[in-house]
């Protein structure tokens, strides 16, 4: 096997990096994940995820974790409700009977991001994840890399894999190609004890998702585990809007005033979100890699997920793509079909870039549709035609 007697370092402990670690661990590979968080409880784990049968679920199936997923997913959390800016309902998926249909291409069960991370972490040997590892830099040494961290001793690895997200520190060692700003910014918030804190919105949400469209702006939200709701106010803005806005994202009163000004036609029902969010709000400028990016494969370094192909979230494929990257990369490195690690990496990267480009294009187009004057009707047509 190509990885025999080699030390593999994965930088980043998100779904993609952890999935890869699990798959390599099953093959007996010496693999370690270096994650900058102090421990598994260090931060809130984002919004819920819907996994697709041929992407994220395929990776979990190969990793032997599908049964654990079935125990932890949230039935009904994939049910969409579409409203206008007045919170008037135009479409509800709650009227469709919920059926568990694993293996069907259109069955996309939702799971809380934290629950998925726990499944993956619990599947790893404790020595295969190294917490509190803030990556700083690395340099070539022998046929591998010497990795430097902010708060631990340097480490040698024969092969390094960047799974450290959109602001990857590994990516520049592979390519100088940078992502570009799409013109859309999302402001993220999280609300605890949502049924009590958000009675009007919870009555519309019903444990699923809401997509609200009006005046070229959106509010997107989803039910999380433990009675939490995560939401995004999504809008077109100039680059570096967050810095230029002068807003204190830890000040709920200030952010509510901003919402009233930026979303003037929107119902006061939405004020609940800003009045009850656990601060700080998190501004997220939406970037995308060029659709035609390419680079020469290296013999000991590659990347996956957002590090390789950050894209808008408007196709719902981000985590699914990262987990499929992990599946395909693990197969290339361990299936004995390539005569060198560099050939295996090259094969993986060529295919990864092709499919990522297609999804990125779809995501860009969807983002424009969702922030257009006719967004509500466009999305009603889409869901009505499903």
**What is the spatial distance between Cα 344 and Cα 182, in angstroms, rounded to a whole number?**
32
Number of structural domains, the chain?
2
Shared-domain flag, residues 253 and 305: no
Local structure of 20: helix, strand or coil: helix
Q: Flag whether 83 is in a domain.
A: no
SS3 state at 322: helix
For residues 277 and 343, membership in a common domain is answered with no
What is 101-134 written as a DSSP string?
-TT-TT---EE-HHHHHHHHHHTS-GGGEE-S--
- For 276: left if phi > 0, alpha if psi spans -120 to 50, otherwise beta; the answer is alpha
Regarding whether 261 and 186 lie in a shared domain, the answer is yes
Measured CA to CA, the distance from residue 241 to residue 334 in angstroms comes to 45
Res. 153: pLDDT tops 70: yes
Average pLDDT over residues 224-238: 93
Do residues 73 and 110 touch, judged by C-beta distance below 8 A? yes
Q: Omega of the bond prior to 280 within 30 degrees of 0, cis?
A: yes
Domain harbouring 157, CATH code: 3.50.50.60
Give the domain-ending residue among 288, 321, 349.
288
Among 15-29, 43-57, 250-264, 307-321, the minimum mean pLDDT is found in: 43-57
* Residue-wise DSSP of 185-220: EEEEEEESSHHHH-HHHHHHHTTSEEEEEETTEEEE
Among 250, 271, 288, identify where a domain stops: 288
Give residue-wise pLDDT tens across range 18-35.
999 999 999 999 999 999
For residues 19 and 163, membership in a common domain is answered with: yes
349 and 239 share one domain: no
Exposed / middle / buried, residue 340 (Cβ in 10 Å: 0-12, 13-18, 19+): exposed
Residue 50 assigned as binding residue: yes
pLDDT at position 151: 85
**Does 152 lie in the same domain as 258?**
no
The confidence band for 106, taking pLDDT boundaries of 50, 70 and 90, is confident
Task: Give yes or no: residues 209 and 316 share one domain.
Answer: no
Q: Is residue 385 pLDDT above 70, yes or no?
A: no
pLDDT tier, 97 (very low <50, low <70, confident <90, very high otherwise): low
Query: Of 288, 323, 341, which residue constitutes the final position of a domain?
Result: 288
On the 0-12 / 13-18 / 19+ scale of CB atoms within 10 A, 381 is exposed
What is the predicted pLDDT for the residue at 42?
76
Provide the pLDDT for residue 145: 98
Domain with 158 in it: 7-50+125-178+291-368
Please state, in angstroms and rounded to a whole number, the distance separating the CA atoms of residues 66 and 321: 17
CATH of the domain at 244: 3.30.9.30
What is the number of other CB atoms lying within 10 angstroms of the CB of residue 79? 19
Q: Determine, yes or no, domain membership for 72.
A: no
In a domain, 114, yes or no: no
152 appears as a binding residue in the annotation: no
Give 37's contacts (C-beta < 8 A, 6+ positions apart).
Answer: 13, 43, 131, 132
Does a structural domain hold residue 112? no
Residue 44: its pLDDT value, please? Answer: 58
- Is 301 a domain residue? yes
270 secondary structure, DSSP code: G
Instruction: Specify whether 244 is located in the same domain as 354.
Output: no
Helix (H) or strand (E) holding 138, with range, is strand 135-141
Segment 274-311, tens digit of pLDDT = 999 999 999 999 999 999 999 999 999 999 999 999 99
User: Is 310 domain-assigned?
Assistant: yes
In a domain, 110, yes or no: no
Q: Is 53 annotated as a binding residue?
A: no
Average pLDDT over residues 371-385: 89
- Least trusted range by pLDDT, from 100-109, 258-267, 346-355, 373-382: 100-109
Query: Average pLDDT, stretch 105-117?
Result: 86
Q: From the CA atom positions of the chain, what is the Rg in Å?
A: 21
Beta-strand pair 144-149/301-303: unpaired
> Was 43 annotated as part of a binding site?
yes
Average pLDDT, rounded, for the chain: 94
Residue 57 in 3-state DSSP?
Answer: helix
**Residue 386, pLDDT above cutoff 80:** no
| Residue 214 pLDDT | 96
């Amino acid at each position: 096997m190509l990885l025999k007697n080699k030390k593999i370092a994965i930088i980043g402990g998100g779904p993609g990096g952890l999935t890869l670690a699990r798959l390599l661990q099953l093959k007996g590979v010496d693999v370690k994940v270096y994650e900058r968080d102090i421990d598994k409880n260090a931060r809130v784990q984002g919004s819920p995820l819907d996994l697709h049968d041929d992407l994220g679920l395929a990776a979990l199936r190969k990793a032997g974790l599908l049964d654990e997923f079935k125990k932890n997913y949230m039935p009904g959390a994939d049910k969409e409700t579409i409203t206008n800016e007045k919170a008037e309902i135009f479409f509800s998926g709650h009227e469709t009977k919920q059926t568990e249909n694993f293996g069907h291409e259109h069955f996309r069960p939702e799971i809380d991001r934290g629950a998925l991370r726990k499944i993956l972490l619990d599947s790893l040997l404790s020595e295969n994840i190294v917490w509190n590892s803030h990556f700083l830099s690395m340099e070539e040494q022998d046929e591998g890399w010497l990795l430097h961290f902010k708060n631990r001793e340097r480490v040698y690895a024969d092969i390094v894999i960047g799974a450290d997200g959109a602001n990857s520190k590994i990516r520049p060692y592979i390519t100088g190609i940078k992502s570009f700003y799409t013109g859309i910014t999302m402001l993220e918030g999280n609300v605890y004890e949502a049924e009590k804190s958000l009675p009007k919105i919870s009555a519309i949400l019903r444990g699923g998702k809401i997509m609200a469209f009006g005046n070229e702006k959106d509010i997107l939200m989803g039910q999380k585990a433990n009675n939490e709701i995560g939401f995004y106010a999504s809008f077109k803005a100039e680059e570096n809007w967050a810095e230029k806005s002068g807003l204190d994202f830890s000040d709920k009163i200030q952010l509510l005033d901003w919402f009233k000004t930026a979303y003037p036609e929107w119902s006061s029902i939405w004020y609940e979100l800003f009045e009850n969010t656990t601060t700080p709000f998190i501004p997220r400028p939406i970037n995308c890699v060029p659709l035609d990016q390419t680079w020469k494969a290296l013999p000991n370094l590659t990347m996956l997920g957002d590090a390789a192909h950050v894209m808008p979230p408007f196709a719902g494929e981000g985590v699914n793509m990262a987990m499929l990257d992990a599946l395909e990369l693990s197969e290339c490195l361990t299936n004995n079909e390539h005569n060198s690690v560099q050939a295996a990496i090259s094969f993986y990267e060529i295919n990864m870039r092709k499919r990522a480009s297609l999804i990125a294009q779809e995501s860009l187009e969807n983002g424009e549709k969702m922030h257009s004057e006719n967004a509500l009707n466009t999305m009603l047509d889409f869901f009505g035609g499903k």
